[in-house]
Amino acid sequence: MQTNEYKPIREIFGSMLFDRRVMKEKLNPDVYAQVVAAMEGTEKLDPAAADIVAAAMKDWAISKGATHWAHWFQPLTELTAEKHQGFTMSDSDGNPIDVFRGHHLAQGEPDASSFPSAGSRSTFEARGYSAWDISSPAFIVKSPKGGTLCIPSVFLSYDGSSLDLKTPLLRAVDALESRALKLLKTLGQRGIKNVKMTVGAEQEYFLLDRPRAQLRPDIRFCGRTLIGAQPAKDQKLDHHYFGAIPPRVLRYMEDVERDLARLGVSLLARHNEVARCQFEFAHLYSEANRACDQNQILMETMRKLARQHELRLLFHEKPFDGMNGSGKHTNLSLVDSDGRNLLKPSNGHRRNVIFLTFLSAVVLGMSKYHSLLQAAVANSGNLFRLGGHEAPPSIISIYLGSALTDLLHRLDNADATIPEKGVMDLGLAKLPAIIPFDSDRNRTSPVAFTGDKFEFRAPGSSQSIALPVTMFASIWAWGVEQVTHMIEARCVSGTDPIDAALDAAREAIKKGSRILFEGDAYTQEWHEEAKKRGLIEAETIPEKIDLLLKPENRAMLAELGVYKSHELENLHAIRMESFATGLEVEAAVLYDMLWEGVLPALSKQLILEKNSLCGFDGIDFGDQTPWKDYVSGLGKAKSALIHDANELHELKGRLATMDDRERADFLVETIIPLMSRIRSKCDAAELNISADIWPYPIYRNLLSLSA
């Protein structure tokens, strides 16, 4: 954090990024052309050119103050990993030299033994390879005494199997982009050179005063509160939403923005979210792979600077009971080499048919493989978030809006003209007219078309967006392939490609119509209707993780080359283990908080009240029954919590004999309901115990940030 630097963002933007602009300046034209071709996937970078790139990258990084370099990769923990290695070494005479060659840049070998592998490799089988992802630029993370050159990389086992989230992402994006290009050429768009998937994420989060938050074991170890009574003023009045940003938070946001600007990450928006102490960043759309990298960089930067600002950052999907949860709405689209968004509606007949074709491919793919999106967002945080406080339900459906829905209904008449949007007159001469969207937003829809993109609203705030994007891209790729086959089959009989495309879109929408829903997805009526449509295949989080291994899902991902069968099995096992272990830790922390804090507080309050009763013996206070009832209630509450604590301890003990799948079910069906009952009793006790006796900072104090 450099608080004394006030240069405009435009002057520092990308200064720590080894991107095309820097490479063009540092490399000779022939090597630069090779690098660009490798980035675009048209040829490999030869070792001699890699040496030249490495030398230029090293000199540039050292000139920026970097002392170390690292392959920066994304293991299946959903976090990032890096092993720092110094540039400076000694030669045979003991003199310092800076070393970084092409083979260092291209490949590394970090110890892979302790990364999640779902038991697919023994601890002594430690070999893992990190390999440079040339499509995502290297960057420098500054530190107080230097900095580290981070090289985005994939992470593979010795047999080439993916041990990360980036490798399947790259495969899925490639599958979608290549099929999208083929579809465009089928429709006569011969001049298009490539198609790129674009992604933009909206990162929600909470900020608390760090010294205060660290007094709570649940926040320290679980990232959320396991107990806590509702404050008198919560979010019901919606005063916080889009309100003035607190000065302390604004200073933090500005530092995050400046650090990200140096890394070439543009933040489009910052604002207060619905709940108190909840905020949001949204970063600029970019190519899918880079967008996933940038979201991880954003989260890492936020963590680092939160500590510097004495703030506690919470990415958990549901840190406070009864309050708004945090998601990571992920927006997805396709852009061709001419810069045209393929999901942008048009009044031009040809362009509009292309739009409808790609739209219908999403509908068709989602109708068949919607369960992969459920599996992609199935984590312990979303167990508490999805389905409440503006988070969408976990039943996947698509909302298109009234105009598009009407248009799709009229496709049978071969009318593909989108009505021209009107102008909304605000009725005041001093205010401009605005062009509205064709319909209001549906906040209950997990997947919504929002004008020129799809917004997937179910991903949780703590997640890497890599897996949700991988599954969305795979589903879309399958849909595009099916629509292309439909068009080709019609063209064989002499049908004009555009007419064939319109007919194929009509068929795809008809086949995929069960996934479309325009109403309130919170209602019981929709739940029953979704079940009739076959959209509910799993109820619990463990069952949703199991959807990864559904035979037709496995077959589709294998056919696209996104996941090999054993890679998908490993992913399933790791996510199941992570889910179960996370909840088991929460149960252990709650047990400790009961015995270390809540039960002693009840004892202190009981002693205080009983002493008061004895101390005033003989003084007539009138009817003392309410007082005695209060003391009796405290005693009963303590007894009930001791009983529950003992039951929780006994149930936790059973977990040791279970495998991960059994643990997950047992936690969801037995332990989580018990923890919920314990929470209710603790929250009731909190309201009846003196503030100076209650052992943990309460919601009212936690959800307050001083200037």
Name the amino acid, one letter, at 685.
Answer: A
**What's the rounded Cα separation, in Å, for the pair 21 and 13?**
12
**What's the rounded Cα separation, in Å, for the pair 18 and 69?**
13
Query: Bridge partners of 341?
Result: 335
Q: Are 339 and 374 in contact (CB under 8 A)?
A: no
Q: Are 219 and 312 in contact (CB under 8 A)?
A: yes
SS (H, E, C) 299-324: HHHHHHHHHHCCEEEECCCCCCCCCC
CA angle at 307 for the pair 301 and 311, rounded to the nearest 5°: 105
Two structure tokens written together for 659: 């495998």
Confidence of residue 536 (pLDDT cuts 50, 70, 90): very high
Confidence of residue 403 (pLDDT cuts 50, 70, 90): confident
Lowest-confidence region among 104-118, 181-195, 388-402, 421-435? 421-435
Q: What is the pLDDT of residue 550?
A: 97
**What's the rounded Cα separation, in Å, for the pair 589 and 125?**
33
**What's the rounded Cα separation, in Å, for the pair 191 and 184?**
9
Q: Are strands 138-143 and 17-18 parallel, antiparallel or unpaired?
A: antiparallel
Q: Is the pLDDT of residue 549 over 50?
A: yes
Lowest-confidence region among 31-40, 328-337, 349-358, 438-447? 438-447
Q: Is the pLDDT of residue 647 over 50?
A: yes
Two structure tokens written together for 160: 């080439």
Query: Bridge partners of 286?
Result: 199
Q: Is the pLDDT of residue 433 over 60?
A: no
Residues of the chain with pLDDT > 90: what percent?
Answer: 72
Inter-CA distances, 180 with 22, 224, 309, 465, 476, Å: 31, 42, 46, 22, 9
Q: Are 393 and 327 in contact (CB under 8 A)?
A: no
What is the mean pLDDT of the segment spanning 441-467?
Answer: 91
What is the mean pLDDT of the segment spanning 280-303?
Answer: 96
User: Residue 620 contacts by C-beta under 8 Å, 6 or more apart in sequence?
Assistant: none
Q: Is the pLDDT of residue 545 over 80?
A: yes
**What's the rounded Cα separation, in Å, for the pair 453 and 437?**
13
**What's the rounded Cα separation, in Å, for the pair 290 and 74?**
13
Q: Are 99 and 553 in contact (CB under 8 A)?
A: no
Q: What is the pLDDT of residue 2?
A: 47
Q: What is the pLDDT of residue 401?
A: 84
Q: Which of 635, 660, 338, 396 is nearest to 538 (CA)?
A: 396
Locate tokens 């052992």: which residue? 695
Q: Is the pLDDT of residue 285 over 50?
A: yes
Q: Are 127 and 157 in contact (CB under 8 A)?
A: yes
What is the mean pLDDT of the segment spanning 113-142?
Answer: 76
Locate tokens 């009509």: which residue? 506
Q: Is the pLDDT of residue 124 over 90?
A: no
Average pLDDT, the chain: 89
DSSP output for 434-463: B---SS---TT-SEEE-SSSEEE---BTTS
Confidence of residue 431 (pLDDT cuts 50, 70, 90): very low
Q: What is the pLDDT of residue 274?
A: 87
Confidence of residue 373 (pLDDT cuts 50, 70, 90): very high
DSSP three-state, residue 690? coil
Q: Which of 152, 149, 146, 136 is nearest to 16 (CA)?
A: 149
Q: What is the pLDDT of residue 441?
A: 61
Q: How many CB atoms lie within 10 A of CB 494?
A: 7
Name the amino acid, one letter, at 283.
Answer: H
Q: Is the pLDDT of residue 20 over 70?
A: yes
Q: What is the pLDDT of residue 222?
A: 97
Q: Is the pLDDT of residue 663 over 60?
A: yes
User: Residue 484 contacts by C-beta under 8 Å, 6 or more apart in sequence?
Assistant: 179, 182, 183, 186
- Sequence-ordered strand ranges (E) for 558-607: none
Measured in Å, how far apart are the chain's first and last C-alpha atoms? 19
Confidence of residue 614 (pLDDT cuts 50, 70, 90): low
What is the mean pLDDT of the segment spanning 353-366?
Answer: 95
**What's the rounded Cα separation, in Å, for the pair 394 and 522?**
10
Residues of the chain with pLDDT > 70: what percent?
Answer: 89
pLDDT tens across 75-106, in order?
A: 999 999 999 999 998 878 888 888 999 999 99
From the number of C-beta atoms within 10 Å of its C-beta (0-12, 13-18, 19+), residue 320 rates as buried
Q: What is the pLDDT of residue 463?
A: 97
How many residues would you count in the chain? 707
DSSP three-state, residue 278? strand
pLDDT tens across 377-402, in order?
A: 999 999 998 876 567 888 999 998 87
Q: What is the pLDDT of residue 160?
A: 83
Q: What is the pLDDT of residue 625?
A: 76
**What's the rounded Cα separation, in Å, for the pair 598 and 216?**
12
Q: Is the pLDDT of residue 41 over 60?
A: yes
Helix axes 466-492, 551-560, angle to 10 degrees: 80
**What's the rounded Cα separation, in Å, for the pair 164 and 78?**
9
User: Residue 383 contacts by C-beta under 8 Å, 6 or more apart in sequence?
Assistant: 541, 583, 668, 672
Q: Is the pLDDT of residue 418 over 80?
A: no
User: Residue 265 contacts by C-beta under 8 Å, 6 or more apart in sequence?
Assistant: 283, 284, 294, 297, 298
Q: Is the pLDDT of residue 319 over 90?
A: yes
Inter-CA distances, 347 with 355, 356, 522, 634, Å: 10, 12, 34, 70
